[in-house]
Structure formats: structure tokens, C-alpha cells
């Protein structure tokens, strides 16, 4: 991996590029149409991250000055785990930068700076075997719960 790789909380000037990457994530890098995600949904998320980084954070990945990915994180208290859980809600690296250790380095950095968290959690799409292999290699384990939603 290049030594020039870095990450930092998203700056207001970077939000347009992050919006584009979020759309790419939800459209499988532009290969299939997606009606699920829109800029109208993304904008309040990025507004919240910029104004309340204590509850929602977007980290931007860069190689030198080029934005090459992002991660969206939030935290909450878990009675079950006895402390704060840091959830990696989205992780995206541009296709041309994948398989270079960027995601591994980022997750390891989260772990190394996790003194206020008792658990690092994430969700993996069922068909994303490459991500499952990465996360398993990094020590994540599948839990025996089923994640359920109800739109309100």
C-alpha cells in the first residue's frame, strides 16, 4: 500500500465527491441502476455528519490529494455488550484502488483508536463474498441474529 494513503473526517468541500461515491456504492459501482439511494437521501446524512460528528462521522480516504473512498460510522450504547458500539455502516473504496490493503489499514486503525468502544460492528451484503473474506480475516464473526427493519 502506498505511504501516501490517509483518511480524515470529511470536509465540507469534499461532500460532492462523497455523494458520488455513495451513489456508486449503492449502484454496484454504476453497473446496475438503483432507485433505492438518491442525493435527496444522502444530503441530510452528510449535513448531520458535518454538524454532529459526535453521533455520525464520514471519514474520507485519500491517496495524496485524490479522494479514493469513504466510511460512514455511528455509535450507540449497548446494554448487551456493556458499552459503546462503533458501527461501520458503509465502507467504499474506488474499484481501481481495491485489494491494496486500504480497508484493512482503516479498520485496524479504528481498532487501535477504540479505547471508548467495546465492539466494532458492521453489516455485509449477502452476496459480497470478497468483503466477508476480508472481515473474517480481520477478526469479525457472524452473529446469530437476523437484522430486521420496519419503515416508519
Domain spans, the chain: 5-137
Nearest alpha-carbon partner for 61 in 101, 29, 30, 114 = 101
Q: How far is CA 77 from CA 81, 83, 142, 147, 150, in A?
A: 8, 5, 20, 18, 21
- For residue 115, the model assigns a pLDDT of 82
pLDDT at 68 over 90: yes
Average pLDDT across the chain, whole number = 89
What beta strand segments (E) does the chain contain? 5-9, 56-63, 66-78, 83-93, 119-122
Mean pLDDT of 102-131: 89
- For residue 127, the model assigns a pLDDT of 83
For residue 31, give every residue at least 6 positions away whose Cβ sits within 8 Å of its Cβ, in sequence order, or none.
none
Mean pLDDT of 61-75: 95
- For residue 124, the model assigns a pLDDT of 86
- For residue 2, the model assigns a pLDDT of 44
Instruction: With H, G, I as helix, E, B as strand and everything else as coil, classify residue 119.
Output: strand
Quick: pLDDT tens for 18-38.
999 999 998 876 666 667 888
In CATH terms, the fold of domain 5-137 is Aminopeptidase (3.40.630)
Model-level pTM? 0.88
Mean pLDDT of 3-16: 90
The pLDDT confidence band at residue 72, using thresholds 50, 70 and 90, is: very high
Q: Which of 28-42, 65-79, 87-101 has the lowest mean pLDDT?
A: 28-42
Amino acid at each position: 500500500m502506498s505511504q501516501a494513503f490517509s483518511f480524515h473526517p470529511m470536509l465540507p468541500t469534499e461532500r460532492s465527491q462523497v455523494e458520488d461515491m455513495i451513489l456508486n456504492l449503492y449502484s454496484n459501482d454504476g453497473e446496475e441502476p438503483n432507485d433505492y439511494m438518491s442525493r435527496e437521501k444522502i444530503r441530510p446524512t452528510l449535513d448531520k455528519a458535518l454538524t454532529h460528528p459526535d453521533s455520525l462521522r464520514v471519514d474520507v480516504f485519500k491517496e495524496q490529494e485524490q479522494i479514493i473512498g469513504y466510511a460512514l460510522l455511528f455509535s450507540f450504547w449497548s446494554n448487551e455488550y456493556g458499552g459503546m458500539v462503533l458501527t461501520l455502516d458503509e465502507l467504499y473504496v474506488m474499484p481501481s484502488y481495491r485489494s491494496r490493503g486500504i480497508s484493512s489499514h482503516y479498520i485496524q486503525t479504528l481498532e487501535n483508536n477504540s479505547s471508548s468502544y467495546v465492539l466494532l460492528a458492521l453489516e455485509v451484503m449477502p452476496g459480497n463474498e470478497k468483503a466477508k473474506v476480508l472481515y473474517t480475516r480481520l477478526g469479525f464473526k457472524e452473529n446469530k441474529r437476523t437484522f430486521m427493519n420496519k419503515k416508519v
